[in-house]
């Protein structure tokens, strides 16, 4: 099977529609969500080719295949993350500036900033005394690096 288009995300489906189907999952690392062409395997051993025609990243919950009885969807394995919890706007600005200088991609959930684990960032957070914790957590989207030059 080759998937060329994602038409729906499971979050946009009614609960009853989900429950009446057998669900298989394709577990991807968050870095693989940006790949438009790849060969993947479901948790039931089915191989699926993904060759997306549109320029878009995969997202946790994207449905690769669905019929009346079955559904195959994308899920994401947990990433090793630093969960940064600045106490005020000054701390947020300070760490955002520092991480921006390193061109580190970040995601935000409520008042937390999420970055992939890096021992240098962990040291920086300790030096700046900005609250953080390290944990394995699933993210819905890939950490996308944005190309930039200082030239």
Domain ranges of the chain: 2-76, 79-137
> Cβ neighbours of residue 146 under 8 Å, at least 6 residues apart?
103, 105
Reported CATH class of domain 2-76: mainly beta
Domain 79-137 belongs in CATH node 3.30.70.790: yes
Computed over every residue of the chain, the mean pLDDT equals: 91
| pLDDT for residue 148 is more than 50 | no
Model confidence pLDDT, tens digit, residues 41-97? 999 999 999 999 988 889 999 999 999 999 999 999 999 999 999 999 999 999 999
Contact assessment for residue 22 and residue 69, using Cβ atoms and an 8 Å cutoff: yes
- Among left, alpha and beta (phi > 0; psi -120 to 50; other), residue 103 is left
Number of C-alpha atoms within 13 angstroms, CB side, residue 20?
9
Tell me, rounded to whole angstroms, the distance of Cα 26 from its chain centroid: 14
């Amino acid at each position: 099977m080759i998937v060329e288009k994602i038409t729906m995300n499971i979050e946009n489906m009614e609960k009853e529609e989900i429950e009446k189907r057998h669900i298989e999952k394709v577990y991807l690392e968050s870095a693989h969500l940006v790949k438009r062409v790849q060969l993947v395997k479901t948790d039931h051993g089915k191989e699926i080719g993904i060759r997306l025609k549109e320029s878009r990243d995969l997202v946790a919950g994207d449905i690769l295949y669905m019929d009346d009885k079955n559904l195959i969807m994308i899920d994401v394995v947990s990433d090793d993350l630093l969960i940064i919890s600045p106490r005020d706007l000054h701390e947020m600005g300070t760490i955002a500036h520092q991480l921006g200088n390193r061109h580190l991609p970040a995601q935000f959930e409520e008042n937390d900033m999420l970055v992939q684990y890096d021992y240098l960032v962990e040291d920086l957070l300790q030096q700046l005394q900005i609250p953080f914790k390290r944990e394995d957590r699933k993210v819905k989207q890939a950490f996308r690096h944005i190309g930039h030059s200082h030239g």
